[in-house]
Amino acid sequence: MTWSALKSTLPDWVREKKVYIALQFAIEKHPELNDVPLVTELARSEEEKRALELILAGQAMGRPFAAPPKVPSERIAALRAAFDATMQDKNFLEEADKLGLEIQPVAGVRLQGLVENMFAQPKPVIQAARHAIESKR
């Protein structure tokens, strides 16, 4: 269960501290869970850490918007600017708050960097990630 889902569906559990968050399965710490360690902090090697980051990259992306190859850079800039403006729109944020939805957008440049990093991983890291995923089935 995600932190935002827990907060919106079981707010009394959070408020009354009926739930203990022991570990974050994420690449970056959630601002509200700064004292909770990341799973990557428990990695025994750099390769293991990178494999965990590779596995968690999709989660860090959330629900991305993507465009096909060869889209003109001006179009990408316009799409990113429109998305960023929406994520800061007062009415949008008020409605999300009413619905108990957490808005934590990932900037287009950051999303692009995550994808590029995924594809740049060396074969041993990819194999370690694949092994970790397959051994849990």
Q: List the domain range (segments joined by +) for residue 16.
A: 1-42
Residue with tokens 């990695």: 43
Asked if residue 32 is part of any domain, the answer here is yes
Asked if residue 23 is part of any domain, the answer here is yes
pLDDT at 68: 92
Asked if residue 66 is part of any domain, the answer here is no
pLDDT at 51: 95
Asked if residue 77 is part of any domain, the answer here is no
Number of structural domains in the chain: 1
Q: Please report, in tens digits, the pLDDT of each residue of the chain (137 residues total).
A: 788 888 888 989 999 999 999 999 999 999 999 999 999 999 999 999 999 999 999 888 888 888 899 999 999 999 999 999 999 999 999 999 888 788 888 888 888 899 999 999 999 999 999 998 887 66
pLDDT at 80: 92
Task: Evaluate whether 96 touches 103 at the Cβ level (below 8 Å).
Answer: yes
Asked if residue 11 is part of any domain, the answer here is yes
Asked if residue 111 is part of any domain, the answer here is no
Amino acid at 17: K
Asked if residue 18 is part of any domain, the answer here is yes
- The structure's pTM equals 0.74
Please report how many Cα atoms fall inside a 13 Å half-sphere around the Cα of residue 133, on the Cβ side: 12
Cα(15)–Cα(37) distance, rounded to whole angstroms? 20
Asked if residue 28 is part of any domain, the answer here is yes
| Dihedral angle, C-alpha 25, 31, 36, 41, nearest 10 ° | 60
